[in-house]
Each structure stands twice: as structure tokens, then as C-alpha cells.
Amino acid sequence: MNAFDVFLKTFIDPVKAFAALKEKPFIALALTVMILASLGTAWVMISHLDEGAMRAQIREAMEKQGGTVTDAKLDEVMAQQAKFSKFGAPVAAVGAAIVYLLVALVFFLAFKMLDSDMSYKQSLSVTVHGFLPGLIGAALMVALILKAGSVDPQAAETLLKSNLGFLADPESQKALSKLLGSIDLFSFWSLGLLTLGFGTVTGKGFKGALPVTVGLWALYVAGKVGLSLVF
């Protein structure tokens, strides 16, 4: 089974896909596609932001800090935002690559503590393939943005109703919004694939890997909620 076969079978026959990754941990294809998807989604998002809504939100934030906000000052801030937004998509792509490398490292260390002989390369291959459902979410997000024509920056996170984040106000209910946003169809799909993948590669099986994957996911959600309370 080659890298392309494994890529496709992750969606239609993940048991065989992860069994193949145990023998030969393909990484390049899945990682490249995921990085390009992050790049493309970020570019579409940034290029379709609603400037009117963005301007109003910046004005509101500046007014909360005190003082009078003139149109000239607001124009200056908007110009700076436009300047930095050019780097938004590349930064998102690099950030995605770093996230996959770090997540794979966390899983590698976690299973090493459980006496696993899994290599970091195997961990990275399972990680990038486990997150492949995100490609479908990204494609749907891009389609929604293109259909809408423009998107409110504050509403962008809940534009795709694949999670329950839209049930809470992201401004007045920040922690609840983050918590509900984590109850996500694609996140659970990936969590299932990661559990199956690491269970296969480490030999611990689905039930043996489940406490590790769910535990780390719960820590991530708790950290995200906690940060929303602090900042």
C-alpha cells in the first residue's frame, strides 16, 4: 500500500490504513495536503473579511481603552491590519505544521510512558492522518465563505455549524463558547481516528489507547477554556 492508498483509506477503511502506517509510516503526502489546506483556508478567510464589521469592532475595542477615536486614527489602524494580513496565510500554514509536530511529540512521549516502542515517525504519521477529517471541514468552510461573499471576523469561528459554539455568545460567554466549540463533529472524528491509529501502532488496541487520546484532548479543551477566562 502506497502513501496515496493510505491517504484515501483513512476515510473509507481506517483499520487497514493504520495497519499499513504501522509497517511504513508515510508522512509527506498527508502533511503537505494539510499544510496547503491551512494555507488556502486562511487566505480565503482573510481575503473575505467584512471590512465594515472589522472597522466597527476595532473602533469599539479602541474606545474601551479610553479616549476619542478619530476616523484618521481608525484608518491608520486599518492600514496596519491590512499590512500584517498579507502574512496571515503563510503564518497559518507554518503554524499548522508546528502544531502537527508538537502534537505528535506529545503523543509519542505519552505512549513512551506506557512502555510503547512506537517511534516519533510513526507518531507523526498517525497524527497527520488522524487529522485528515479537517480537510472536509476546511472545504465546507471555504464554500460557505465564498457563498457569503464576506464574513464577520467575530462570526468566522462559528460559521460552520459542525460544533455547538454557536449556542453561546463569544463575547459575553467566552468560556462556554470555547467549551461548546470543542464539541465538534470533525474533532470527534479525528479523535476516533487517532485512538484507532495509536492503538494499532502501539499494539495497545482501541481501548488501550482511548484513555491517552481522550485524556490529552480533555486537557487541551480545559486549557483553551482556561485561557479564554484569563485573556
List pLDDT tens digits, range 174-191. Answer: 788 888 888 889 999 999
Distance CA 200, CA 16 (A): 10
| 153 to 50, 74, 116: CA distances (angstroms) | 7, 17, 43
Lowest mean pLDDT among 49-53, 59-63, 67-71, 117-121: 67-71
For the entire predicted model, the pTM comes to 0.86
- The ranges assigned to domains in the chain are 3-230
Q: Which residues pair with 151 in a beta bridge?
A: 49
- The C-alpha angle 136, 138, 142, rounded to 5 degrees, equals 120
Identify the DSSP state of 151: B
Q: Cβ distance 149 to 48 under 8 Å?
A: yes
Lowest mean pLDDT among 115-124, 141-150, 161-170: 161-170
Q: Which residues pair with 184 in a beta bridge?
A: 163
Amino acid at 172: S
Q: Is 189 helix (H, G, I), strand (E, B) or coil?
A: helix
